Structure 1
Amino acid sequence: MTVISTPQAFNQDDLYVDLEAITGHRLFLKCEGFNFAGSIKLKAASAMVEAAERDGVLTPDSILVESSSGNLGVALSMIAASKGYPFVCVTDSRCNLSARLLMEALGSQIHIVTDPSPGGGLLGARIDHVRALCASDDRYVWLNQYANPNNHMAHYRTTAPAIARAFPDLDVLFVGAGTTGTLMGCARYFRAWHRPVRIVAIDTEGSTTFGRTPSRRMIPGLGTSIRPPLLDTSYVDEVVHVDEPDTIRACHQLARHGFVFGGSTGTVVSGATRWLAEREQPVTAVAIAPDLGERYLETVYQTNWVQDLYGGDALQPRTAAIAGRRTDPDELVPTN
């Protein structure tokens, strides 16, 4: 029997789905959405809040503020409610309605940014808004998930070791790239592991994270319009970029087998399936599923929304592997 007194005390860290019957490739999906926050972001949120409390940055008079496209905002809303902190989430128009309503139910304030900044898109505008709030009142505490080392250390201490215990013969790990906290934590852990593990980052087309030209992105979660300070590409072996219609196809393919996952998970599964389809030798492969699908019912799983943005073809399954585009390691822009 498990008994908890705070919602962040519970997280299912050892659940995997064997996707071979769905994708045609031996791929194990690590499910990270089975906690009260509904996503992998609970780990980073807990680690960042606890570190801020230990360091004396976060006090009983503080007001938490963070920029989020949805899932981290929900996780911080939950933790703030359990600890008694006010919380302001700065998001943008792409944030799913269900995520906004959930944050409000937890007592958080939502500030929605609608106009992109000239050089940083909607993310840049969100960060500008956060900085303006902090400048207006010194009670505001910005955890800054994009640069906070506790973001990636949360996954170095928990996510990666859990995968290592479950798959001692791991060959390749697929990780979605948002703030790159999960990616960097896992990559740093497996760099020092007893056997080589290939780290494949999965990003969405239109993201600037790995040096691509920015373009429209409508599905929140993965991808950025400003390169994350946490990213060090020397730990990344390859990058697969996935078009949003292929994210939608992957989500619907999984749903047709009873698994309703979120947009970030659809992107990771799409990119991982394409990467595996290009290899002849079997490997032991794990992909990290950051989220579940309930927050995407009005978008990714809503026919009219998909058709209006991407056309009817996005709802048609492909006969070949779910598509993605691979970037060779020498195409990566190095960072420190």
Structure 2
Amino acid sequence: MAVIITNPLDFNVEDLYVDLWQSVGCRLYLKCEGFNFAGSIKIKAAVEMVAAKEREGRLRPGGTLVESSSGNMGVALSIVAASKGYRFVCVTDVRCTRAARLTMEALGGEVHVIGEPDAEGGYLGARIAHVRKLCEENAGYVWLNQYANSANWRGHYRTTGPEVAKAFPELDVLFIGAGTTGTLMGCARYFRENHPGVTIVAVDAAGSVTFGRPPGRRMIPGLGTSVRPPIFDASYADDVVYVEEAETIRMCRRLVGHGYLFGGSTGTVVSGARDWLTAHGRDDMTAVAISPDLGGNYLDTIYDEVWASGVTGADGATARPGPAESRHV
């Protein structure tokens, strides 16, 4: 039967899973969240946050949304804004991929690119400071603030968590990447309240401060933070796995060798899940990992030999983000 929609927000594949046994060599099912018009799981949180502001009366026709994003949320909000008639301003930084910037601009978004990190808060701290400045200078701007907005995790409590539980009623362990922690908090809360026997394992990028570790250099946008998100509550994670960026790249390359072009966040989650299952898994264990994104936006980074070698250190190069082609601030 044909699927006919009148709005890009009406389409999202919710029940597609990849059995990774042949690709990765572990008993793991990957929930693919990239098959929507935004290409990532961020569309769920974007829709939820915008709807909440509309209910509160903060957003009216012709209004302007502003948000800090490393890429995927910015693309998702560009689509939401275009479909609803809002303006959108995205504050990102030089690690955001060129494809993500161009996509946001094609959808009508205005992109501000932060060129230097904050001394204490890194690129995220600098982005948030710029968002605050924009809001001070433009009274009509509505900042969604995905890092502190409970609608971020509620979107996944309402959708992603129940979707996994329906597909795998005998689930033992669920692996979730930690970025803004919206997906992690929403799914973890859902399973804690409805299926408390499921083990929730967070997968974080090495160099992230979310779980209390000291900050480190990170080049791949998506997972990990340089400022701990206010919506994050560590008590909802039963365990955490850290993944080096070189391992993220290797996993993405391994998956694409089997025909699966996934994004950096997915490579991180799968790598962390494989490591955890190698150490703790059982033959009868049912394990699911959430894939946040597809790989189209990473062709000039993770899937580019020169860029990737700079991150992995294969040629001894010191990796630096490439020049942004959008508005620098």
Residue 310 of structure 1: aligned partner: 312
2:22 aligned residue: 21
Written as runs of structure 1 = structure 2, the 5 A alignment for 1:32-43 is 32-43=33-44
Residue 312 (structure 1) shift:
2.8
Cα separation, 2, equivalents of 1:195 and 1:181:
19
Structure 2 spans left out of the alignment, 5+ residues: 317-329
* Cα distance in 2 for residues equivalent to 1:32 and 1:69: 18
CA distance in 1, matches of 2:255, 2:138: 46
User: For 1:22 and 1:278, how far apart are their aligned partners in 2?
Assistant: 19
Alpha-carbon contact 1:254-1:261 (below 8 Å) kept: yes
Does residue 1:215 correspond to 2:194, yes or no?
A: no
Question: Within 1, Cα distance between the matches of 2:16 and 2:305?
Answer: 30
**Residue type at the aligned position of 1:63:** T
> 3-state SS of the aligned residue for 1:192?
helix
State how 1:252-331 maps to structure 2 within 5 Å: 252-279=253-280, 281-282=282-283, 283-312=285-314
Cα distance in 1 for residues equivalent to 2:282 and 2:38: 38
| Alpha-carbon spacing, 1:313–1:246, altered in 2? closer, same or farther (3 Å) | farther
Task: State the Cα RMSD in Å.
Answer: 1.2
Deviation string, structure 1 residues 35-83 (Cα, Å, up to 9, x no partner): 0000000000000011111110111242110000000000000111111
Whether contact under 8 Å (2:17, 2:31) holds in the other structure is: yes
Question: 5+ unaligned residues in a row in structure 1: which ranges?
Answer: 315-336
Corresponding residue of 2:86: 85
Shift in Å, 1:280: 5.2
Alpha-carbon distance change, 313 to 252 in structure 1, aligned in 2, over 3 angstroms: farther
Q: SS at 2:9's partner residue?
A: helix
**Stretch moving more, 253-262 or 300-309:** 300-309
Deviations 1:109-144 (A, max 9, x none): 000011111221110000000000111111100000
Cα displacement (A) at 1:306: 1.0
C-alpha distance in 1, partners of 2:295/2:170? 30
Mapping of 1:1-336 within 5 angstroms? 1-279=2-280, 281-282=282-283, 283-312=285-314
In 2, distance between residues paired with 1:109 and 1:19?
38
* Contact 1:172 1:286 survives alignment (8 Å): yes
2:72 and 2:100 in contact (8 A); partners too: yes
Distance 2:101 2:222 in 1: 14
SS at match of 2:174: strand
Q: Residues of 1 paired with 2:96 and 2:290: CA distance?
A: 21
CA distance in 2, matches of 1:212, 1:144: 23
Aligned residues: 314
Partner AA of 2:302 in structure 1: V
What secondary structure does 2:242 align onto?
strand
Q: Secondary structure at the match of 1:212?
A: coil
Q: Distance in 1 between matches of 2:17 and 2:79?
A: 25
Query: Secondary structure of 1:175's match?
Result: strand
The CA distance in 1 between the partners of 2:104 and 2:203, in whole Å, is 27
Q: Is the contact between residue 90 and residue 129 of structure 1 (CA under 8 Å) also seen in structure 2?
A: yes
Distance 2:23 2:211 in 1: 29
Higher deviation after alignment, 260-269 or 192-201: 192-201
State how far apart, in whole Å, the 2-side matches of 1:127 and 1:276 are: 36
SS in structure 2 opposite 1:88?
A: strand
**Residue 313 of structure 1, CA deviation:** 8.5
Secondary structure of 2:125's match?
helix
TM-score by length of 2: 0.94
Distance 1:195 1:113 in 2: 41
Q: Distance in 2 between matches of 1:188 and 1:307?
A: 39
CA contact (8 A) 2:65 2:86 kept: yes
**1:195, distance to aligned residue in structure 2 (A):** 5.0
Between the aligned partners of 1:76 and 1:113, the Cα distance in structure 2 is 19
* % identical equivalent positions: 63
CA distance in 1, matches of 2:64, 2:195: 43
